[in-house]
Structure 1
Amino acid sequence: MTTQPTLKGAWTITFLLFLFMLVNFADKIVVNLAGVPIKAELQLDPEQFGFLGSSFFFLFSISALAVGFIVNRIDTRWVLLAMAVIWALAQFPMVGTVSFTTLVVCRIILGAGEGPAFAVAVHALYKWFPDEKRTLPTAILAQGSAFGVILAVPALNWIIVNHSWHYAFGALGVVGLMWVVAWLVMGREGPLVQTVAMAAADPRVPYFQLLTSRTFIGCCAAAFGSYWALSLGLTWFTSFIIEGLGFTQKDAGWITVLPWVFGAVIVLLAGWISQVMLTRGFTTRGARGVLGSVPLIVGGLILLAMPHVNGAGLQVVLLVLGPGLCGAIYVVCPPMLGEFTPVQQRGAVIGIYSAIYTFAGILAPWVMGTVIKHAATPLEGYMTGFTINAVIMIVSGLLGLLLLWPNTERARLLAQAAAQPKFA
């Protein structure tokens, strides 16, 4: 394989998109972090709080789907800018007195703005890196989510403890506007875009064939299980630490960082190991498909043990390790989809993939809230919810292991497309 040189400016754009994802996940985590004071002020029961967590994802998938097609025709530079403006403006209504309805509406708007974030950022990034160099930049991009939590949680928790959860939202709005200014100054569109010559060598494949390919289905299934765990962490983790295990709000803030620190290590390791495996001749089936699926299964087994151990410390350790292993799948799935998807269809396919797997975000917080509300004790409800999470992770990892064969997908799809009647 001939390795192309990295384009000048590629790592600057990677860093800006890393910051983009950092702001994205800081926006997501604030409701989890402020969950207990929000429930107290607005007098919410667990089911209502679960609904609040799910509301963020009501338009998340639809937006990801729609924008996935838009970025096939409009420069990603302007789409990223528009999304970041929406994120920032959606935070400011929470600074003053707010009702439950207003909070829900603002979270729905924020979710609509953030739904396409990772897919569009990946599509933008891949305009700067050739296929054989995409895994590590994808891993760095995914790290924005971890660092968005690692860096934001101490600052936001300090604001919540010493001032008010309302001001935490306002601070995020200001940070979002700062990124908008930075992107206006330094953001550029990548040069690796579709040309006439590339289009001739890279013919369109019917979307039905792309979306029913086993690797696409495997990516959706595996990422669904991972996102179930992620959305629970974004909504319920801090509340569990306080209400389930008895920690204070101040201590819970620091504990909330732990899964994301561990997850950051896993994601970087997965990206590095995958790239090393590819340079040493491994197929993308092994270097991407197997590497992303196995941690999901192992993480599910670890989480499955949590209700059966004693001691808050050990339970926190298992809750950190189990879901933390899930992040590897986000590193490998976009490059796998990029392997067999024609460039002019890539934005839409990655957007559809994101729309499908993030549907877990609607279900997971609400299911956990419902289980807690109807359990004999809150702790029992939490443990039942985490057991459901563990089973979903294991099943999704097994499906990924079974279905992810990106190294043979492209040739098969192109052969199918060539065999179709010209009018099809």
Structure 2
Amino acid sequence: MTTQPTPKGAWKITFLLFLFMLVNFADKIVVGLAGVPIMTELKLEPDQFGTLGSSFFLLFSISAIAVGFIVNRVATRWVLLVLAAIWALAQFPMVGTVGFTTLLICRVILGAGEGPAASVAIHSVYKWFPDEKRGLPTAILSQGSAFGVILAVPSLNWLIVNYSWHYAFGALGVVGLLWVAAWLVLGKEGPLVQTVATGTAEPRIPYSRLLTSRTFVGCCAATFGAYWALSLGLTWFTPFIVKGLGFSQTDAGWISILPWVFGAVIVLLTGWISQVLMARGVCTRNARGVLGSVPLIVGGSIIALLPHVQGVGLQIALLVTGSGLCGSIYVVCPPMLGEFTPVSQRGAVIAIYGAIYTLAGIMAPKVMGSVIQGAAVPLDGYMTGFTINAVILVTSGLLGLLLLWPNTERARLMGEEVTQPKFA
């Protein structure tokens, strides 16, 4: 197989898309960060706040699938521009006095705009890097989510504590518009749209075969568990720190950064280790599939200990470690799908994958809100919710180990004769 060079300008685009994902996750985290002030001002019960958290994902999957097929035909440069503009404009109504219904509608619109974001960004960056060089760029894009939280939480929490949660939404709208302006000037479409092996257009594979392949199913199942944990972190982590463990809003803002800092390290390590293993000839079953699945099992097992230990410091440490380990799967699944999906169909396949696993975002916040509402004391409800999360994580990791075999998927789908690398 001939290795393609990385086109000039690839890392500039990667950095811009990193910022794109940074804004994306800052938008996501703001409701959870301002959860207690929002519940207090709008007089919301836990079940209602859970509904608010879930509303973000109401059109998330539908939008992801629709836009996924659009980017098969429309340049990702323009799609990314429109998506970011929607995010920015959806934030500004919250600057003024709003009720629960307005906030709910704006979160639904924001979710519709953000649903396709990760898959379109990945599809865009893959037009700049050949398959064997995609691990690190994928990890960098994933870091946009972590840094979006790490950088946004202190500044947004300062606005919430010193002014109002309304100003936090307005600040995000301004930042979104700044990214739109930068992308309009600097954004470009990548040149790599042909196969690495032949340099010719790839044949199409029926979507029925792509979407029922065991690796596609395995990616959806494994990432579903990781996204369940992520959705709880976005919506319920800060309220848990304040109402469950008794910290102040100011302290909770700093503590809320910890899972994302740890997760950032895990994601970068995963991307680097994956590329090193592949450079040494290790098959992608191990260099991607196993590498992404095992942390889910370990992370779920750690979170399962949470209700059985004493001391808030240890509880926070377990939650940070267990949820942070889940980030590995986001790094390895898109490249695995890219191994066997023709470029002309990749945008749709990655988008459908994203649409399926993000269904966890609809379910997780609502389930947590319901168990908190029904618990004798809030802390017991939180612990029950985290136990459910642990079971889902372990199950998803086991399914990943069972189903993720990307190194043989392309040969099976396309009938190619391939030479298996060592450790296959």
- Does TM, scored on the shorter chain, surpass 0.5? yes
Which TM-score tier does this pair reach, normalised by the shorter chain?
Answer: over 0.9
Q: Once the two structures are superposed, what CA deviation does each residue of 1:147-180 show, in whole Å capped at 9, x if it has no partner?
A: 0000000000000000000000000000000000
Q: Quote how far apart the aligned CAs of 1:202 are.
A: 1.9
8 A Cα contact 2:22 2:147, kept in partner: yes
2:241 aligned partner, one-letter code? I
2:75 aligned partner, one-letter code? D
1: distance between equivalents of 2:202 and 2:92?
Answer: 45
Q: Once the two structures are superposed, what CA deviation does each residue of 1:382-416 show, in whole Å capped at 9, x if it has no partner?
A: 00000000000000000000000000000101139
Q: Once the two structures are superposed, what CA deviation does each residue of 1:11-45 show, in whole Å capped at 9, x if it has no partner?
A: 00000000000000000000000000000000000
2: distance between equivalents of 1:385 and 1:403?
Answer: 27
1:289 aligned partner, one-letter code? G
Q: Which residue in 1 is equivalent to 2:421?
A: none
1: distance between equivalents of 2:406 and 2:318?
Answer: 32
Q: Which residue in 1 is equivalent to 2:23?
A: 23
2: distance between equivalents of 1:377 and 1:65?
Answer: 40
8 A Cα contact 2:221 2:399, kept in partner: yes
Percent identical residues: 79
Are 1:7 and 2:7 counterparts?
yes
Q: Once the two structures are superposed, what CA deviation does each residue of 1:326-354 show, in whole Å capped at 9, x if it has no partner?
A: 00000000000000001110000000000
Q: Which residue in 2 is equivalent to 1:363?
A: 363
1:59 aligned partner, one-letter code? L
User: Within 5 A, what are the aligned runs for 1:300-319?
Assistant: 300-319=300-319
2: distance between equivalents of 1:134 and 1:365?
Answer: 32
2:147 aligned partner, one-letter code? F
> What TM-score results when the alignment is normalised by the length of structure 1?
0.97
2: distance between equivalents of 1:182 and 1:200?
Answer: 34
8 A Cα contact 2:284 2:407, kept in partner: yes
1:394 aligned partner, one-letter code? V
Secondary structure of 2:415's partner?
helix
Q: Quote how far apart the aligned CAs of 1:200 are.
A: 5.8
Q: Once the two structures are superposed, what CA deviation does each residue of 1:214-253 show, in whole Å capped at 9, x if it has no partner?
A: 0000000000000000000000000000000000000000
Q: Which residue in 2 is equivalent to 1:238?
A: 238
Q: Quote how far apart the aligned CAs of 1:7 are.
A: 1.1
Q: Which residue in 2 is equivalent to 1:192?
A: 192
Q: Which residue in 2 is equivalent to 1:97?
A: 97
Are 1:226 and 2:230 counterparts?
no
1: distance between equivalents of 2:400 and 2:202?
Answer: 27
2: distance between equivalents of 1:232 and 1:267?
Answer: 19
Q: Which residue in 2 is equivalent to 1:326?
A: 326
Q: Which residue in 2 is equivalent to 1:74?
A: 74
1:102 aligned partner, one-letter code? T
Secondary structure of 1:392's partner?
helix
Secondary structure of 1:203's partner?
coil
8 A Cα contact 1:90 1:106, kept in partner: yes
Are 1:134 and 2:164 counterparts?
no
2: distance between equivalents of 1:375 and 1:340?
Answer: 47
User: Within 5 A, what are the aligned runs for 1:262-301?
Assistant: 262-301=262-301
1:255 aligned partner, one-letter code? I
Q: Which residue in 1 is equivalent to 2:419?
A: none
Unaligned runs of 5+ in 1: 417-424
2:411 aligned partner, one-letter code? A
Unaligned runs of 5+ in 2: 417-424
Report how many aligned residue pairs link the two structures: 415
Q: Which residue in 2 is equivalent to 1:386?
A: 386
Q: Which residue in 2 is equivalent to 1:420?
A: none
1:302 aligned partner, one-letter code? I
8 A Cα contact 1:159 1:165, kept in partner: yes
2: distance between equivalents of 1:359 and 1:159?
Answer: 31
1: distance between equivalents of 2:304 and 2:397?
Answer: 14
Q: Quote how far apart the aligned CAs of 1:4 are.
A: 2.4
2: distance between equivalents of 1:413 and 1:307?
Answer: 45
1: distance between equivalents of 2:6 and 2:199?
Answer: 22
User: Within 5 A, what are the aligned runs for 1:196-207?
Assistant: 202-207=202-207
Q: Which residue in 2 is equivalent to 1:114?
A: 114
Q: Which residue in 1 is equivalent to 2:208?
A: 208
2: distance between equivalents of 1:247 and 1:266?
Answer: 27
2:117 aligned partner, one-letter code? A
2: distance between equivalents of 1:194 and 1:351?
Answer: 20
Q: Quote how far apart the aligned CAs of 1:3 are.
A: 3.0
Q: Once the two structures are superposed, what CA deviation does each residue of 1:73-131 show, in whole Å capped at 9, x if it has no partner?
A: 00000000000000000000000000000000000000000000000000000000000
Secondary structure of 1:127's partner?
coil
2: distance between equivalents of 1:242 and 1:312?
Answer: 12
Q: Which residue in 2 is equivalent to 1:86?
A: 86
8 A Cα contact 1:119 1:354, kept in partner: yes
1: distance between equivalents of 2:199 and 2:355?
Answer: 26
Q: Once the two structures are superposed, what CA deviation does each residue of 1:33-76 show, in whole Å capped at 9, x if it has no partner?
A: 00000000000000000000000000000000000000000000
Q: Which residue in 2 is equivalent to 1:56?
A: 56
Q: Once the two structures are superposed, what CA deviation does each residue of 1:241-296 show, in whole Å capped at 9, x if it has no partner?
A: 00000000000000000000000000000000000000011000000000000000
1:123 aligned partner, one-letter code? H
8 A Cα contact 1:300 1:390, kept in partner: yes
8 A Cα contact 2:194 2:201, kept in partner: no
8 A Cα contact 1:194 1:344, kept in partner: no
2: distance between equivalents of 1:152 and 1:399?
Answer: 34
8 A Cα contact 1:64 1:354, kept in partner: yes
8 A Cα contact 2:218 2:403, kept in partner: yes
1: distance between equivalents of 2:368 and 2:339?
Answer: 36
1: distance between equivalents of 2:240 and 2:121?
Answer: 32
1:158 aligned partner, one-letter code? W
2:146 aligned partner, one-letter code? A
8 A Cα contact 1:372 1:382, kept in partner: yes
